[in-house]
């Protein structure tokens, strides 16, 4: 990222932080919030995926306590991010149910159950702020869990920092927020630089290798970040950048940028839309008979609504949502089976990372040996897990996670893991067939 863009992004994040605090100052404590308690029972033994209970083995005896460990999350159950938000919610709930079914969390020879409160922020950062303050003031939480979407996480991270409460969030790749000096923010999830590197590593491996790349990016902080990184990487690797278009989220007519890419012979399109915009863009690409050889759709294609809404039109796109239920890590198959039974829907790309958040949190609580928020923060920072459903997890000093980045491709309406090769369960469809031939 060049210096001017980096400074611009830093300024926007700083302004958002100030705005977030201003919103809280105006927020009335009587604002309504939709709470959902995490109570689903695990339907099978959770032994394979419950977090380790190493402290129990160090105790002559363990005392059961009626005191609960309160944790809270602001998640978009409704609104533009709902498809991904519901999977986040379900992943959290299954993780909590599994831990509690296995006995709970042992801290200093006292066993306690997790108590999770989820509030719906309706995909609105203002409501995210309100929910975060409500959870802190009314629910006596020891940790926050994040929702879905970079703008919501930016708002949430500022409040977690203000309240000095650990915050673990997935389903957001914005890198810039981790450069603001936040000490309580942790994200075991791929970030923008890693996503960009992975996408070009994959392109470099193709035969015949494409040469013309285009960008469709929304006008947001994350859109600007990804746009800059994609353009810089394309130039560094010798690709021709044929089009670089930014658009306002919520726009309805994308024909100009689509036709510009088509007329320039753009072979690969890298785009960052929200789910409704991404679906609209693909419908118009179909109408305008423009099918790139490959299309990377970051975020918009993560949830199940992509395949259900677009059908064959949504096939063959590539996405990097952080996970696939076919990954070859400990406990994944058991977790996926329980998820299907519990929620009567398959575990999608954001469910696994959400479940892993619970594994990371429980491991950290037990190592902290305390419900003190600062002790827990230090324990999360020292995480070195090898057996989560997203593989090995540790954290950099800025709170970004050292995690694997996988690439999925929609094939026949389902996300198929196609990269990296040691994790892949299917072959890449390349070049993508024209919409009219599907």
Q: Residue 28: its pLDDT value, please? A: 40
Task: Tell me the mean pLDDT in the region 177-197.
Answer: 97
Q: Residue 48: its pLDDT value, please? A: 40
Q: Residue 25: its pLDDT value, please? A: 44
Which residue's entry shows tokens 């040469």? 211
Chain centre to alpha carbon of residue 25: 29
d(CA 396, CA 411): 35
Sequence ranges of the chain with CATH classification 3.40.50.2300: 8-190+326-402, 192-321+406-437
Tokens representing 53 are 């209970």
Task: Tell me the mean pLDDT in the region 204-221.
Answer: 96
pTM beyond 0.85, yes or no: no
For 71, 304, 432, the CA distances from 82, given in Å and listed in that order, are 21, 10, 28
State pLDDT tens for residues 141-157: 999 999 998 899 999 99
Q: Residue 57: its pLDDT value, please? A: 63
Task: Tell me the mean pLDDT in the region 166-194.
Answer: 96
In this predicted structure, the answer to whether residue 85 has a pLDDT above a threshold of 90 is yes
Task: Tell me the mean pLDDT in the region 204-231.
Answer: 96
| 60 against 127, higher pLDDT | 127
Tokens representing 257 are 């940028």
Q: Residue 56: its pLDDT value, please? A: 60
Q: Which helix (H) or strand (E) holds 117?
A: strand 110-120
Q: Residue 58: its pLDDT value, please? A: 78
Task: Tell me the mean pLDDT in the region 387-391.
Answer: 96
Q: Residue 329: its pLDDT value, please? A: 95
Lowest mean pLDDT among 39-48, 251-260, 263-272: 39-48
Task: Band the pLDDT of 79: cuts 50, 70, 90.
Answer: very high
Lowest mean pLDDT among 48-57, 188-197, 366-375: 48-57
Task: Band the pLDDT of 19: cuts 50, 70, 90.
Answer: very low
Share of the chain above pLDDT 70, in %: 87
d(CA 171, CA 235): 28
Q: Residue 165: its pLDDT value, please? A: 98
Q: Residue 53: its pLDDT value, please? A: 46
State pLDDT tens for residues 331-342: 999 999 999 999
Q: Residue 59: its pLDDT value, please? A: 87
Task: Tell me the mean pLDDT in the region 103-121.
Answer: 96
| 277 against 2, higher pLDDT | 277
Tokens representing 71 are 């944790």
Greatest alpha-carbon span in the chain: 73
In this predicted structure, the answer to whether residue 50 has a pLDDT above a threshold of 80 is no
In CATH, what is the architecture of 192-321+406-437?
3-Layer(aba) Sandwich (3.40)
State pLDDT tens for residues 34-48: 344 444 444 344 434
Q: Residue 55: its pLDDT value, please? A: 55
Q: Is 299 left (phi over 0), alpha (psi -120 to 50) or beta?
A: left
- Name the phi and psi angles at 117, rounded to 5: -115, 125
Task: Tell me the mean pLDDT in the region 156-180.
Answer: 97
Task: Band the pLDDT of 348: cuts 50, 70, 90.
Answer: confident
Other CB atoms within 10 A of residue 358 CB: 29
In this predicted structure, the answer to whether residue 434 has a pLDDT above a threshold of 80 is yes
- Name the phi and psi angles at 276, rounded to 5: -65, -40
Lowest mean pLDDT among 12-21, 92-101, 224-233: 12-21
For 19, 195, 223, the CA distances from 299, given in Å and listed in that order, are 25, 11, 11
In this predicted structure, the answer to whether residue 207 has a pLDDT above a threshold of 60 is yes
Q: Residue 10: its pLDDT value, please? A: 47
Q: What is the CATH number of domain 8-190+326-402?
A: 3.40.50.2300
């Amino acid at each position: 990222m060049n210096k001017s863009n980096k400074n611009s992004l830093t300024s926007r994040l700083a302004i958002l932080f100030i705005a977030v605090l201003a919103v809280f100052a105006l927020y009335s404590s009587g604002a309504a919030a939709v709470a959902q308690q995490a109570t689903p029972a695990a339907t099978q033994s959770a032994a394979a995926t419950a977090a380790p209970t190493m402290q129990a083995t160090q105790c002559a005896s363990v005392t059961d306590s009626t005191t609960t460990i309160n944790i809270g999350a602001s998640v978009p159950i409704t609104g533009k991010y709902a498809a991904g938000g519901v999977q986040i919610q379900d992943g959290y709930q299954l993780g909590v149910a599994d831990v509690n079914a296995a006995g709970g969390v042992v801290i200093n020879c006292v066993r306690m159950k997790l108590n999770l409160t989820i509030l719906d922020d309706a995909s609105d950062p203002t409501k995210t702020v309100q929910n975060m303050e409500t959870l802190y003031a009314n629910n006596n939480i020891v940790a926050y869990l994040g929702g879905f979407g970079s703008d919501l996480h930016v708002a949430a991270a500022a409040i977690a920092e203000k309240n000095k409460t650990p915050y673990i969030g997935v389903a957001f790749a914005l890198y810039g927020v981790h450069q603001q000096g936040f000490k309580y923010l942790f994200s075991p999830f791929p970030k923008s630089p890693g996503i960009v590197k992975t996408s070009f590593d994959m392109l470099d491996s193709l035969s015949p290798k494409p040469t013309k790349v285009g960008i469709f990016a929304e006008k947001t902080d994350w859109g600007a970040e990804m746009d800059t990184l994609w353009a810089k990487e394309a130039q560094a690797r010798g690709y021709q950048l044929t089009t670089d278009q930014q658009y306002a989220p919520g726009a309805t007519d994308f024909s100009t940028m689509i036709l510009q890419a088509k007329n320039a012979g753009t072979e690969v399109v890298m785009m960052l839309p929200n789910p409704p915009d991404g679906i609209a863009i693909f419908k118009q690409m179909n109408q305008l008979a423009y099918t790139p050889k490959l299309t990377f759709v970051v975020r918009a294609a993560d949830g199940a609504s992509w395949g259900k809404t677009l059908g064959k039109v949504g096939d063959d796109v590539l996405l990097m949502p952080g996970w696939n239920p076919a990954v070859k890590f400990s406990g994944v198959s058991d977790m996926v089976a329980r998820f299907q039974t519990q929620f009567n829907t398959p575990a999608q790309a954001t469910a696994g990372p959400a479940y892993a958040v619970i594994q990371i949190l429980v491991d950290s609580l037990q190592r902290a040996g305390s419900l003190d928020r600062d002790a827990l923060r230090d324990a999360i920072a020292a995480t070195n897990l090898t057996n989560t459903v997203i593989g090995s997890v540790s954290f950099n000093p800025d709170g970004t996670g050292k995690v694997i980045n996988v690439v999925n491709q929609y094939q026949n309406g389902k996300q198929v893991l196609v990269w990296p090769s040691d994790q892949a369960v299917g072959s890449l469809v390349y070049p993508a067939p024209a919409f009219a031939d599907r």
